[in-house]
Chain A
Amino acid sequence: MNSTTNMNTKSIKRKGGWKRYLIHLFPLPALAVYLLFIVYPLFSAFVYSLFDWDGLTRGAFIGIKNFIDLFTLEPFNHMFWNAFGHNWIYFVVEMVVQNGLAFLLAYIIYSKIKGTGFFKAAIFMPRLLSVIVVGFLWKLILNPNFGVLNKFLNLIGLEQWAKPWLGDTHTALISIILINCWFGIGFAMLIFLAGLQSIPSEVLEAARLEGAKGLKLISKIILPMMKQSITIITVFTFTQAFEAFELVYAMQGSEGGPAYSTDTLAVYFYRLAFGSANESEIGLGSALAVVLFIIIAGLSALFLRLMRRNDVEA
């Protein structure tokens, strides 16, 4: 017994010196990669916005001129507000359609109908696809002449509804947004389901005993108790709506066509940064990046704080 204790004390003492500092190497790989590829580029992007650019070569320091140009020169100014409006439409439609339906579906599954495992998996399945696959797949489905949707409409006698969905400036944006809803509804449904399941059953029982039923039960008891999931989904949807790029790019290219009717801020940013032909405007693109960052990070943080304040009061 004594010999082992002595041995241990010796080994602990010997642990001084350089081996003790080995532990400090642990966070270094993660930190290095993270700082180099995430923090540094983001700060650089902000710095870039303060300079003049000629193609890929950096010119003189021009302060906030890029920002001023972005909002005063045409076509840049018009493009910004056009895309900005589309992002808001994206957000609102997704909140109502995707999240509204997701809540309904989560509620249905929550009420323990048979086969929940299957339904959950089936509705979630689109989420597994790459956004580019979703975009191209639906491009084929929505094709005016050979696509399944129009053929189906013709079959059931609704020919007047068979439109060139992606080619018409009136229908293109909403088509893309609805496809995004198709893609994302499974995820939102799972979050809401988790939220529903976290409500303690005693609360529901008590409410039911007091006669609360159906819609009243939902609005007065269930929704308030799901604040956390609702907040998460809202912030998430907002972030997605303002970062929307892949789907639009896949279906309509970098111009957000037809006639910029599907343009979003992220697509516009891509166009400025990597532009078509010799039109790359890195200075303006970087300025737009800063503006986008402020919008996304700023409004998300604001919203989160609002939600938290409501909790404290309650």
Chain B
Amino acid sequence: MKRSITQQSLFYIIICIATVISIYPIFLMILSSFKSNIDVLQKPFSLPSSFSLENYKTLLDELPFFHYIVNSVVVSVVSVLLILLFSSLAAFYIARYNFKWNNGLFFIFLMGMMIPIKLGIVPLFMLMKNLHLTNTLWSLILMYTAIGIPLSMLILTGFFRTMPKELEEAARIDGCTDIGILKNVLLPLMRPALGTVMIINFIQIWNDFFFPLIFIQEETKKTLPVGMLSLFGEYSTNWSTLFAGLTLSSIPMLVLFLFASKQFMDGLAAGALK
């Protein structure tokens, strides 16, 4: 595509401005977390005069930030694993076998994608209360698993349907059970699809704020996003600590992204296009 120099330069300028606007706030957040409070308030544009970890110390010492981190990790990891496990089993069942209820089953799962589940929050809260799951991580794990299943089912079923049947037949002739087929033959081949499911769900779950807000009141059981609320409630004047809290919550995602940016972006786009 031949473009004039002016057109190319214009494109560059636009995209550079967009890049700066996108990155600068994040850059500011990280940088400010290493400054003293005075510096943050009076010299916001300057680099830190000395890189101090003071703010992070405050976070971990005076706030249950360690708990927040652990809770977020546990909830995210367990939820993603359950989503993968449950969706794989169900998708395999639907894609590979032709029971007459399979189409209906698939449709029921798909409908979940169109449902704004937040609207059911009142019955959900009562349900969790009745199950004695409020203030436990399980309320979150079960919730996220349920939410993550529809899209994962869509992706995985599509994937299973494209797998060649000969592989399965060969394994069956060798005496493999159904579970054996799933485990030894299909699972290794499923890695890209599983990866997509994993990334989409992990981002959504780690960053979610709504369900921990409703289900969890106890400080030590909160996840990072809700912990932000407590942080901003208590430390509203100590900006450097606030920036440290924001940075600490975001670092895992940002670091993961730096290592796997292509997979992140391709995964999310693929999921949405389905």
Contacts and interface: CB of A to CB of B under 8 A. Distances in A.
A119 interface: yes
B23, B114, B142 — most chain A CB neighbours (10 Å): B114
B5 interface: no
A9 B26 CA distance: 65
A218 interface: no
A29 B89 contact: yes
Given A113-B15, A122-B23, A232-B272, A128 B253 contact: yes
A110 to B, nearest CB: 9
A286 B118 contact: no
B153 interface: yes
B11 A29 contact: no
Interface residues of B, number: 90
B265 A190 contact: yes
Contacts of B261: 117, 120-121, 124
A130 B249 contact: yes
A45 B239 contact: no
Contact of B265 (A38, A124, A301): A124
Contact of A37 (B29, B124, B225): B124
Interface stretch (A64-72, A101-109, A167-175): A101-109
B203 A128 contact: yes
A137 interface: yes
B149 A246 contact: no
Interface string A272-289: 011000000010011001
Interface in B49-95: 82, 85-87, 89-90, 92-94
A31 B109 CA distance: 8
Interface string A123-146: 111111111110011101100001
Contacts of A34: 108-109, 112, 146, 149-150
Contact of A133 (B15, B44, B203, B250): B250
A41 interface: yes
B166 to A, nearest CB: 17
B130 to A, nearest CB: 12
Contact of A190 (B117, B147, B257, B268): B268
Contacts of B12: 113
Nearest to A155: B45
B120 interface: yes
A26 B88 CA distance: 9
Contacts of A131: 207, 209, 225
B41 to A, nearest CB: 5
Contacts of B119: 42, 45, 269, 289, 292-293
Given A30-B87, A128-B254, A146-B44, A105 B265 contact: no
Contacts of A19: 177
> For B22, B108, B149, which residue has the most chain A Cβ atoms within 10 angstroms?
B22
A274 B44 contact: no
A285 B122 contact: yes
A190 B239 CA distance: 34
Contacts of B112: 34, 38-39
Interface string B250-264: 100110010001101
Contact of A136 (B1, B21, B149, B228): B228
A309 interface: no
Contacts of A296: 116
Contact of B114 (A120, A127, A297): A297
A37 B146 contact: yes
Contacts of A24: 93
A273 B22 contact: no
A293 B18 CA distance: 35
Nearest to B261: A121
B210 interface: yes
B203 to A, nearest CB: 7
A22 B179 CA distance: 9
Contacts of A137: 25, 29, 246
23 contacts: A19-B177, A22-B178, A29-B90, A34-B112, A37-B124, A37-B143, A38-B147, A42-B115, A42-B119, A44-B120, A45-B122, A109-B15, A113-B15, A125-B257, A126-B22, A129-B253, A130-B228, A131-B209, A133-B249, A148-B28, A187-B272, A282-B122, A301-B114
Closest A-B pairs by Cβ, 4 of them: A41-B120, A44-B123, A130-B207, A37-B146
Interface of B: 1, 3, 8, 11-12, 14-15, 18-19, 21-23, 25-26, 28-29, 40-41, 44-45, 82, 85-87, 89-90, 92-94, 97, 105, 108-109, 112, 114-124, 126-127, 142-143, 145-147, 149-150, 153, 173, 175, 177-179, 203, 206-210, 214, 224-226, 228-229, 232, 239, 242-243, 246, 249-250, 253-254, 257, 261-262, 264-265, 268-269, 272-273
